[in-house]
Structure 1
Amino acid sequence: MTESNGVGLFISFEGIDGSGKSTQARLLADHLRAMGHDVVLTREPGGSPGAEEIRALVLQGDPDRWSAETELLLFTAARRDHLERLIRPALAEGKIVITDRFADSSRIYQGTRSGDLRDTVDKLHELMIGQEPDLTFLIDMDPETGLARAKGRGGDEERFEDFGADLQKLMRKGFLALAERAPDRFRVIDGGRDMVTVASEVAKLAEDALT
């Protein structure tokens, strides 16, 4: 996987709330820029003006504000706008795109919250998105520790954090199962270590993917 011939590299970071994935995505972007790469750092939901508007709808408010089905449609709409307006144009220009969450989060958060939605998540993804990252870093974290971190940082994701530790445990199990099913794409990283050690491992694996 390289940036040559107008084809960029698409990298995603996944993990439960408080796992440190957002920090690691930013550190990797900084590292690759320092190496001379053209990097776009983005996030989901969000990354484009329309998707950022949807972000405010789905991440804030009462935990029961939306059903899992409605959530899935909102996230897919945001992802489609993000894909059209930012991700695909950047990849076509040969850039490295690093996103904090992508479709795997919908597979786990919406698909797991309502067990009978998992097939719907995959079908909707195939119909409306049709793209996977080239490389996904799963920052694995103890759910209790991750939730404590998430609660202490503030920010705009309190609605999902308010679902509590039981959901976080379910999410972690789901993410690890995804990684087992797609080992060529996923790299599972122990997020319980210090930030610098984690960043060093991520950077090495990303560099390997670029050679």
Structure 2
Amino acid sequence: MALIVIEGLDGSGKGTQAKLLYDYALSRGRARQVTFPDYDSPSSSLVKMYLKGDFGKEAGDVNAYAASAFYAVDRFASYRMKWKDDYASGVPIISDRYVTSNIVYQLSKLPKTEWKAFVSWLEDLEYEKFGLPRPDRVIYLDVPPKISQRLLTERYAGDTTKKDIHESDIHYLLHCRDCALYAAEHLNWTVLNCAEGDTLRSIEDIHHEIKEKLEDLL
């Protein structure tokens, strides 16, 4: 069995690449794709309230531990109700975001002196206490926030009011990128540089590189 995570900032192309990878894995046998947050499930209610700004209009208004718990409960429900049996039977799981997103987005709320302790706390909460499986490989799609912001604006047809409290804060996203690269170094994530200067690499080119790096698992 294999659990593969596609991670990255908002607008980095995670959903597109996760779907392409799922299609590729399915063409070679069995596969299952999951996406977090699971917006179709009631388990994501607190996540949706948080991102909408119900608990505060800025990401930092909800501390890293409380916000992480919202996402962790959503993942627990998804795993237990939707894909636990597939995972146990050896079906490759392609995940668009995972526990790794709590590290990217919540670590940035803490001083760097607390980063290591937070990662340990989070991994104990989700992997040990909640019993979620650890990923076999994490692919981080590294896209400079100025490019991902442009892509998000295009996604929302120029209506920036549609962005959630994470997407709308460029300074927060810049800090999240620093946290992601820290995590990649310390947790052995695979980093893919998805841009050349101010230009995003082609979807096909990125997909081809992802397949190459996951050949041993698929």
Same fold, judged at TM 0.5 (above): yes
Per-residue CA deviations over 1:78-128 (Å, capped at 9, x if unaligned) read 111122122322111221111111111101212222345825434423422
- 1:64 corresponds to 2:62: no
Query: Hey, what does 1:44 align to over in structure 2?
Result: 36
For 2:44 and 2:86, locate their aligned partners in 1 and report how far apart those are by CA, in whole Å. 18
1:197 to 188, 205, 215: 205
> Distance between the aligned counterparts of 1:140 and 1:129, measured in 2?
29
Q: Unaligned stretches of 5+ in structure 2?
A: 196-200
The answer on 1:175 being equivalent to 2:174 is no
Q: Equivalents in 1 of 2:174, 2:204: separation in Å? A: 25
Q: CA deviation at 1:41?
A: 0.9
Q: What is the aligned partner in structure 1 of residue 20 from structure 2?
A: 27
TM-align CA RMSD: 2.4
C-alpha contact (below 8 Å) 1:46/1:54 kept by paired residues: no
Which of 137, 140, 143 is residue 139 of structure 2 equivalent to?
Answer: 137
- Following superposition, the deviation at residue 54 of structure 1 comes to 4.5
* Other structure's SS at 2:3 match: strand
Q: Report what 1:4 is aligned to.
A: none
Aligned residues: 199
Q: Is contact 1:45-1:54 (8 Å) kept?
A: no
What is the TM-score when the length of structure 2 is the normalising length?
0.80
Runs (5+) with no aligned partner, structure 1: 1-7
C-alpha deviation, 1:22, in angstroms: 1.2
Matches within 5 A, 1:79-118: 79-115=75-111, 116=114, 118=118
Separation in 1, partners of 2:81, 2:40: 7
Calculate percent identity across the aligned residue pairs.
22
C-alpha contact 2:107 2:176 (8 A) present in aligned 1: no
- Residues 109 and 158 of structure 1: is their aligned pair in 2 closer, same or farther, counting only changes over 3 Å? same
Looking at structure 1, the residues matched to 180 and 3 of structure 2 have their Cα atoms a distance apart, in angstroms, of 19
